[in-house]
Chains A and B, each alone.
Chain A
Amino acid sequence: MALTREQLAKRVAQELQDGYYVNLGIGIPTLVANYVPEGMEVMLQSENGLLGMGQFPTEDEIDADLINAGKQTVTMAKGASLFDSATSFAMIRGGHVDLTVLGAFEVDVNGNIASYMIPGKLIKGMGGAMDLVAGADNIIVTMTHASKHGVSKLLSNCSLPLTGRGCIKKVLTDLAYIEIKEGKFHLLERAPGVSVQQIIELTAGELVVPENVPEMNI
């Protein structure tokens, strides 16, 4: 079975380490915050100027001056800090964030990512995504493996305009956990109940399949 959004978030959460500063993109990445392992301390960075993002506020706690990068009202966790946008992106661009999780439309075997623009459709902008993919070393892209019509999103060459060039090394899809290196996709894990054959069929770019592909432990 393909992973649900929650299962994707749970699998990403297994990559967290105690003491990590983490930037979570909008959508599935945001859900990762719900699955931080017990006893582990992780601090969430919100690129509009907050390190140490807390949970959503109660009605009484709502503060129009305190939002996240998705413009949702939030709270501050214990030990939070506030700063301006230039300082925020200095953290990101300077490689100080330990893990970045974000979504994409396409990735390819050379680590290119397309995530912000579909020509002919309305273009809303890249927000902070280009800075995040250029600045972070440790990035996990979360996405569905293929479109609803079965068109692969893991390609030899991205067809859409890029968000970043050669910057993606790990992709978690609803079917597989994949590493990108030496111009190829490498299958690391498969979703529970998903066959290697299914993954091969829905991966357009060159995929290296080891003899033994373990199922994800979720």
Chain B
Amino acid sequence: MSGFDKVVTSYEEAMAGLEDNMTVIAGGFGLCGIPEGLIAQIQKMGTKGLTVASNNCGVDDFGLGLLLPNRQIKKIIASYVGENAEFERQMMAGELEVQLTPQGTLAEQMRAGGAGIPAFFTATGVGTPVAEGKEERNINGRDYILEESLTGDFAIVKAWKADRYGNLVFRHTARNFNPMAATAGKITVVEVEEIVEPGELDPNEIHTPGIYVNRLIKGNFEKRIEQRTVRSA
């Protein structure tokens, strides 16, 4: 790496510095737009005690679910966590702490965290279990709760294309939480399908500027589909 060149050539280098008990913010919605190779690398490293913020926690043998068999995740912050037998077992056994967070609040927590905003008021969750222990305030006649933002020691992100400077373009609904996650990591690592030279991406069409990106690696993606629904041609 030199200057603005963010490209690394090995997964070891991509995740170097990840240690036990760190917080990791992960992009992805279900299995769509997840940094497959970075998750596999965390599994390989065996890092434990992680707090992971991600909309979901993968399935038994794919995505963040890969970090469950060896008990690498201590706490998960997510909006929806079905579809995963080992997850359910650890949650029911009290081995895994689960902090359920409304999806829009989770997205905003990452966005705010990356934008230097420590907390925000939202009507989402007022009067529900989500509001327990949180400051409540009435603003112009409506009740809101105070939600603290999220940042991570690491953010792991999946993008479609990048230039070597870390400017990112996402594809279709694989964008989801990835742009916010990218802003919220002290070290943001991005796994992409294609890396091009600076100047090759149209600056008008860059979704995430390279300033947020620390390391960039080209991956090979399986892109597993969770619910394959088709109509007849």
Contacts and interface: CB of A to CB of B under 8 A. Distances in A.
* A-B complex is real: yes
B79 interface: yes
A82 B172 contact: yes
Nearest to A50: B173
Given A48-B173, A82-B172, A128 B79 contact: yes
Interface in B102-156: 102-108, 110-111, 122-130
What is the predominant secondary structure among interface residues of chain B facing chain A?
Answer: loop
B148 to A, nearest CB: 16
A155 B177 CA distance: 37
B193 to A, nearest CB: 10
B27 to A, nearest CB: 9
B79 A126 contact: yes
A5 interface: no
B32 A125 contact: no
A83 interface: yes
Given A62-B230, A85-B103, A166-B127, A125 B225 contact: no
Contact of B124 (A46, A62, A85, A131): A131
Interface stretch (B16-24, B37-45, B80-88, B198-206): B80-88
B218 to A, nearest CB: 17
A86 interface: yes
B52 to A, nearest CB: 14
Interface residues of B, number: 57
A66 to B, nearest CB: 4
Interface stretch (A156-164, A174-182, A183-191, A197-205): A156-164
Nearest to A66: B172
Contacts of B98: 123
A131 B176 CA distance: 16
Contacts, number: 176
A164 to B, nearest CB: 7
A93 B107 CA distance: 12
Contacts of B224: 64
Size band of the interface chain A makes with B: 35 or more
A161 B104 CA distance: 19
B107 A86 contact: yes
B127 A135 contact: no
B55 interface: yes
Contacts of A134: 122-126
B128 A164 contact: yes
A163 B126 CA distance: 9
A64 B176 CA distance: 13
Interface string A62-99: 11111110111110100000111110110011000000
Interface in A116-137: 117, 122-131, 134-135
B35 interface: no
Interface in A15-31: none
A9 to B, nearest CB: 17
- Kindly list the 5 A-B residue pairs having the minimum CB-CB distance in the complex, ordered from nearest: A165-B127, A89-B104, A131-B104, A64-B223, A125-B80
25 contacts: A48-B32, A49-B176, A57-B231, A64-B225, A65-B172, A65-B174, A67-B30, A71-B32, A71-B226, A72-B228, A74-B229, A84-B178, A85-B55, A85-B103, A86-B110, A86-B111, A123-B100, A125-B79, A125-B82, A128-B104, A130-B124, A135-B123, A135-B124, A164-B127, A165-B126
